[in-house]
């Protein structure tokens, strides 16, 4: 054990080498909260032995915006815009998860057309999230510019669709309890169908640039390996879990909405490393395109909103409900406890970003700082959801 020059005698805090056979001191580096690679205001206190990480302590809370407490003091509908700002890349799926929780709590049925529209929007959101993630991951690898530019070009096309439907680019606030706010027009559907047709060629182009790229393979293969057992024990969900080879997708497991009517496959990884996580997302996008095509073909006519659903003076009966869906980042769920009043008595968000982040230290140990950056990038976090 070697003494460290960083010992603080007043607090007794110090860092020591954990390997006695290795001479030299450890160094503590604070990455964040202002660091370009931490995807927001996340902070990692990394203990380094040379350049190898021997300890990693995450520090959260720099974006703690009191989401749950605010929701307990607003009406049920009043929390809908706040859910947009949880995971601000995927407002549509957040809306849907929250709407599902309230619909379960109050026993509201959803018309078939609304369920189809929800599937269409959720899959478009998945495309958007995974494309942006691939771009950001390449940015973390040091490829600054081109992949992110391509990703954001496609993101803008999807955002244009969202904007013409909901009136807002990012914060859509579109789902309601018992349906959706407005009915998509025939013109909108035609444009969305056009986008889906053009997305496949874009993915081909994107993959031609990235998937077989030697630098990408060298940087990501075998890095940040996650075992299936640890993933299950830590409650990891979404593409992170499926990259370890565990076949768990709520779209199949729960079969919520109208997902059982669609033919699609669940891509599974083998190694659970960063490359698998990247590849799972690319493959999921291809499956999303298949779902979207089937949803456009099967979209029924009918009301978009349950006429019996009540928006004003909404007071669900006493009880509790947990509504969850498969969001792009994993299982996003809302646990609501009602005491019969106009606001929830308890409101809890099961945030996939936060729970997936808990295994960060296990993934990073033994890797270099540069690898920690891409491991964090591959976990796919949004700080709005981690800190809430």
- Is 148 a binding residue for other proteins by CB under 8 A? The answer is yes
203: tokens are: 């993915």
- Is 327 a binding residue for other proteins by CB under 8 A? The answer is no
Q: How far is the CB of 149 from other proteins (least distance, A)?
A: 5
- Is 130 a binding residue for other proteins by CB under 8 A? The answer is no
Q: Residue 238's Cα: distance from chain center in Å?
A: 8
Order of strands, sheet of 52-59, starting from the edge strand that comes earlier in the sequence = 27-31, 43-49, 52-59
Binding segment toward other proteins, per CB under 8 A, in 69-77, 101-109, 306-314, 372-380: 69-77
What is the Cα–Cα distance from 47 to 52, expressed in whole angstroms?
8
The label of the residue with tokens 């076949």 reads 247
The label of the residue with tokens 């478009």 reads 124
Count other C-beta atoms under 10 Å from residue 90's C-beta: 26
CB 376 within 8 Å of CB 236: no
- Is 179 a binding residue for other proteins by CB under 8 A? The answer is no
- Is 34 a binding residue for other proteins by CB under 8 A? The answer is yes
Q: Residue 312's Cα: distance from chain center in Å?
A: 31
Sites for other proteins among residues 286-325 (CB under 8 A): none
Binding segment toward other proteins, per CB under 8 A, in 112-120, 164-172, 189-197, 338-346: 164-172
Residue of 57, 65, 265, 346 interacting with other proteins (CB under 8 A): 65
- Is 170 a binding residue for other proteins by CB under 8 A? The answer is yes
Q: How far is the CB of 168 from other proteins (least distance, A)?
A: 9
Q: Bridge-partner residues for 47, per DSSP?
A: 28, 55
Residue of 14, 27, 40, 227 interacting with other proteins (CB under 8 A): 40
- Is 45 a binding residue for other proteins by CB under 8 A? The answer is no
Count other C-beta atoms under 10 Å from residue 193's C-beta: 15
Measured in degrees and rounded to the nearest 5, phi and psi for residue 134 equal: -60, -40
Q: How far is the CB of 382 from other proteins (least distance, A)?
A: 9
CB 219 within 8 Å of CB 137: no
- Is 165 a binding residue for other proteins by CB under 8 A? The answer is no
Q: Which distant-in-sequence residues (6+ apart) come within 8 Å of 178 by Cβ?
A: 103, 108, 109, 110, 114, 305, 306, 308, 309
Q: How far is the CB of 96 from other proteins (least distance, A)?
A: 19
Q: Bridge-partner residues for 52, per DSSP?
A: 49, 368
Q: How far is the CB of 293 from other proteins (least distance, A)?
A: 26
Q: How far is the CB of 351 from other proteins (least distance, A)?
A: 15
The enclosing H or E element of 152 equals helix 146-166
- Is 345 a binding residue for other proteins by CB under 8 A? The answer is no
Binding segment toward other proteins, per CB under 8 A, in 29-37, 98-106, 175-183, 219-227: 29-37
Residue ranges binding other proteins (CB under 8 A): 33-36, 40-41, 61-66, 69-70, 73, 81-82, 85, 88-89, 148-149, 152-153, 155-156, 169-171, 383-384
């Amino acid at each position: 054990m070697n003494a460290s020059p960083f010992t603080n005698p007043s607090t007794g805090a110090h860092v020591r080498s954990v390997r006695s056979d290795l001479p030299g001191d450890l160094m503590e580096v604070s990455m964040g909260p202002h660091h370009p690679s931490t995807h927001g205001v996340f902070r990692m206190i990394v203990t380094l032995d040379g350049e190898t990480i021997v300890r990693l302590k995450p520090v959260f809370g720099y974006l703690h915006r009191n989401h749950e407490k605010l929701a307990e003091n607003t009406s049920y509908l009043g929390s809908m815009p706040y859910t947009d700002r949880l995971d601000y890349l995927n407002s549509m799926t957040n809306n849907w998860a929250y709407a599902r929780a309230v619909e379960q709590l109050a026993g509201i049925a959803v018309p078939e057309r609304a369920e189809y529209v929800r599937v269409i929007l959720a899959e478009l959101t998945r495309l958007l999230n995974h494309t942006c993630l691939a771009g950001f991951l390449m940015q973390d690898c040091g490829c600054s510019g081109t992949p992110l530019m391509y990703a954001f070009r496609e993101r803008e096309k999807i955002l244009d669709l969202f904007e013409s439907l909901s009136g807002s680019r990012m914060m859509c606030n579109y789902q309601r309890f018992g349906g959706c706010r407005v009915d998509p027009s025939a013109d909108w559907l035609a444009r969305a169908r056009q986008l889906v047709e053009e997305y496949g060629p874009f993915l081909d182009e994107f993959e031609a640039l990235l998937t077989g790229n030697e630098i990408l393979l060298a940087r990501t293969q075998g890095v940040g390996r996650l075992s299936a057992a640890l993933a299950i024990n830590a409650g990891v969900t979404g593409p992170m879990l499926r990259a370890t080879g565990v076949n768990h997708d709520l779209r199949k497991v729960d079969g919520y909405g109208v997902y059982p009517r669609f033919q699609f496959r669940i891509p599974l990884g083998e190694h659970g490393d960063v490359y698998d996580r990247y590849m799972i997302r690319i493959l999921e996008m291809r499956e999303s395109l298949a779902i979207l095509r089937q949803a456009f073909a099967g979209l029924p006519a009918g009301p978009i909103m349950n006429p019996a659903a009540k928006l004003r003076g909404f007071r669900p009966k006493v009880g509790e409900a947990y509504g969850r869906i498969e969001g792009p980042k994993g299982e996003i769920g809302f646990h609501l406890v009602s005491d019969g009043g106009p606001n929830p008595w308890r409101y809890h968000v099961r945030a996939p970003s936060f729970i997936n982040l808990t295994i960060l230290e296990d993934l990073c140990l033994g890797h270099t700082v540069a690898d920690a950056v891409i491991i964090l990038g591959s976990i796919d976090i949004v700080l709005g959801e981690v800190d809430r």
